[in-house]
Structure 1
Amino acid sequence: HGNDYYLNVVEMAPEQRETALEAAKQRTLQFLYFIQNDLGFSQLGLADDEFPTADRLPFLPYHREGRRIQGLARLSLNHILDPYAAGEPLYRAGIAVGDYPVDHHHKERPDAPKLEFPPIPSFNIPAGSLIPKTVDGLLIADKAISVTNIANGSTRLQPVILQVGQAAGALAALAMKKGKLPKDVPIRELQDAVLAYGGYLVPSYDISPEDPHFQALQRIAATGILKGRGEPHAWANRTWFYPDSTITLGNLREALIAFAPGLEETPADTNALASLENIAPLLVALALELRSENAPLESTDHLLGYLEERWASAPYQLSQFDATRPLSRIEIAVLLDVLLDPFHAKAVDASGKWQ
């Protein structure tokens, strides 16, 4: 942390800022001198082909943290630790992801609270963190998004803020195109744009954007019907969706009831593994609940015949049609996404609440 420098230039006059930033530059150069001379790494230095500045330093300092807005959503450590049990379902409104641990540098400030940061899984950033609560026509990115001080220790990383910047640009473009304020653009439309340019709505370590079913899983995960399992892991945390694993009919039914409470009367053998044959009644019931126009509703037999004809072709692109075999989680995600489209059937606000 030898290059850290505490500085608050927000309320300084321009001349004061220049003086303060010059002192920060000198700290960096002193740290480099220490590395070269005291530690003996004389081969390390400032690149002469990176920045066209007289001192070879960047145009702007790197700010680890600054002032942050109060947004339509505010991401906290609790949301990162367990997105499904944090109270607010911010994960449903995700527009970017991150995997860095909580990391704060306070070695030079002995008066700073001594906090032990817990290990965390990978996480996502809700759209509401980019939209100010009380200022219209403005979008925020980088370190100024609506997160807590502790959460900023993870969300500040470049891979995260680059995604946030892309999402802010997409939201601004959608707002202009529709003639709306950013806060009035449907969140699902913003998320569609994020997926269209290869972005993530939720973190998924075990399925990447190159997979043909990536977007289907992302959309179903953003409804909460299929949930990931977070895993703290060194300096690159993970969330697993186990796309090739099975799920019991009882667990799937419970997840679908949480999404569409009208399914509570649907009977199910809770211990059986979910198969096309035993989830067909659930699919028909859910189609009725969502008023889906994509699914044939005459009977479960008709539905199975409909799926058999389309199983291997786009947009399903699945293999080995067999109504009796257990389905994988990715197959269930694709079935729900293509057949019923629950992602678009229930709108969410900028904090992930159902609208």
Structure 2
Amino acid sequence: MIKKLLLALLLFNCSLTYAQTIKTDILVIGGDAGGTAAAIQGARSKLKTLLIEPGAQLCQAMTSQSMVTITRGTDLPSGIWGEFRKRTIEFYKKTPGYDTAHNASLHLEPYTGAAIFKKIADTVKNLTVKLNTSFSTVKRDGDVWEITISQNGKSQLVKAKVIIDATQGATVAAKLGIAVKSFDFGAANQQSTLYRTSIAMGDSFPGQGADGVVPAGNYPPYPSYCIPLNSIVVKQVDNLLVTAALIPGDDIQYLAGQLTLGQGAGTAAAFCAFFKTTTKKLDPRTVQGEILDFKGYLLPFADVKPNDPYMRAIQQVGATGLLKGLPHTISNGVTQLFFMPDSVVNTAEVKPLIMEIYTRAFLWFNKEKPGNKFTVGNLMSFISEITLTEPKTLQLSLQKNWKTEYKFTANFDMTRPVTRREFAVLANKFLNPFARKVDLNGNMVN
């Protein structure tokens, strides 16, 4: 009898322990705007996601009931930021005098913004949100994280494949004895290849110009920026991503940046969880492809709108560097990054990367000797060379579909310079430079 009682007690304790353990793919610690976006994206990428927030609501910094104006990110409605912006405009559209133009500054009461985030989060499958929940211990056990959380005085153990530290001050990393440095936007943009791994972007970064020095020779050109994938990866330990050290989570003026960065982090975490791999093996192109699937931007091209049918093609070609954007000063004196889709392609700008990506390019350039302006005929000839398509067959196909399938406005003319839009669309479809893998430093992988 005593043995049976002991066995029953043991089984009861085991079941109790199991009931107190939560297993999840992604754990997001910190429910500011960036953390909320990370959790939403992780769950939308079909990974089980848990978000814990020590406060009583998501986006604790968004409690004011006074109307504020957000001017940053207006022309870059990327992904979750674009979704939030659209919902906010919809909420206020009947307010007298409210400007609903696509490029207008965003006016809102922060507490209403927090309610919009909650409403979005409530509709996302695979996402669980625990408010009034803190964490006390965190450790790596094999290939999973074990985190002790506490809600209303009750402790639970969470086992997660990936952690996103979205706390102010990177407290999860600090608990592990890891110091996280602030992200240097200027320095990152001066590293010539990091933009190829971009997971977030914006038109102006925190603290820009505070020292009166404008960075020279960077890309994207000041004040636009990209945030590379490796900037959120904690190198000392596997499967820990940090976001709050990059963009202040308590300043609503940087809401667009917080959301785009959070979405990028959620996508990176989903990659690791889905493929059962580590942050050391992140594949930038796969992560970027998922961001694009969810209408996110990789580069801050302000003149290519979300409804452009070839926005993705332009973003993908832009992320390779085959065609780079250029600074453009708009009417109010603000400088933005423009793709300028209707301007023509110079041979000098595309030749270096073409030579780097395609092994037969050297022979083609020696044979064709294109002039200063890359023509429609040059592009068609190069596509024929790389894809081994018979030139006449390719020409007839392009000519037939020029305005119907591709919806180009200019006439098909082999002799005229190709526009940047035409080049991006056709190169993306036939040459697919975005498929060329890059490492976390943005270098091409052979």
Pair 1:349-2:446 in alignment: no
CA distance in 2, matches of 1:306, 1:49: 55
What is the 5 A alignment of 1:152-167?
157-167=254-264
Q: In structure 2, give the amino acid aligned to 1:281.
A: S
Aligned residue in 1 for 2:354: 256
Aligned to 2:227, what secondary structure does the other structure show?
strand
Aligned residue in 1 for 2:375: 275
Aligned residue in 1 for 2:18: none
Aligned residue in 2 for 1:334: 425
Alignment partner for residue 211 of structure 2, among 107, 115, 137?
Answer: 115
Aligned to 1:168, what secondary structure does the other structure show?
helix
Q: Is the 8 A contact 2:239 2:272 kept in 1?
A: no
By how many angstroms is 1:50 displaced? 6.5
Alignment partner for residue 98 of structure 1, among 174, 180, 202?
Answer: 202
When structure 1 is superposed on structure 2, of 182-191 and 251-260 the one drifting more is: 251-260
Aligned residue in 2 for 1:128: 230
Greater share of residues in strand: 2
Q: Is the 8 A contact 2:323 2:349 kept in 1?
A: no
CA distance in 1, matches of 2:214, 2:393: 51
Q: Is the 8 A contact 2:195 2:319 kept in 1?
A: yes
By how many angstroms is 1:304 displaced? 1.4
Alignment partner for residue 178 of structure 1, among 269, 275, 283?
Answer: 275
Identity of aligned residues (%): 28
Query: Tell me, which stretches of 5 or more residues in structure 1 are unaligned?
Result: 1-46, 53-58, 81-85, 106-113, 288-294
Residues 1:135 and 1:235: Cα distance change in structure 2 (over 3 Å): farther
1:155-181 deviations in Å (ceiling 9; x for gaps):
x92211211111111222232222222
CA distance in 2, matches of 1:48, 1:101: 21
Q: In structure 2, give the amino acid aligned to 1:347.
A: K
Q: In structure 1, give the amino acid aligned to 2:186.
A: L
CA distance in 2, matches of 1:261, 1:173: 34
Q: Is the 8 A contact 1:167 1:194 kept in 2?
A: yes
Aligned residue in 2 for 1:144: 245
CA distance in 1, matches of 2:416, 2:228: 37
Q: Is the 8 A contact 1:223 1:259 kept in 2?
A: no
Q: Is the 8 A contact 1:97 1:202 kept in 2?
A: yes
Q: In structure 1, give the amino acid aligned to 2:194.
A: L
CA distance in 1, matches of 2:275, 2:415: 47
Residues 1:94 and 1:261: Cα distance change in structure 2 (over 3 Å): same
Residues 1:117 and 1:65: Cα distance change in structure 2 (over 3 Å): farther
Q: Is the 8 A contact 2:195 2:228 kept in 1?
A: yes
How many residues were matched structurally?
A: 272
Aligned residue in 1 for 2:266: 169
By how many angstroms is 1:208 displaced? 1.7
Query: Tell me, which stretches of 5 or more residues in structure 2 are unaligned?
Result: 1-108, 115-131, 133-165, 216-221
Pair 1:192-2:192 in alignment: no
CA distance in 2, matches of 1:335, 1:193: 22
Aligned residue in 2 for 1:243: 341
1:216-245 deviations in Å (ceiling 9; x for gaps):
010001111001113577795411111000
CA distance in 1, matches of 2:389, 2:235: 47
CA distance in 2, matches of 1:51, 1:208: 24
Aligned residue in 2 for 1:307: 398
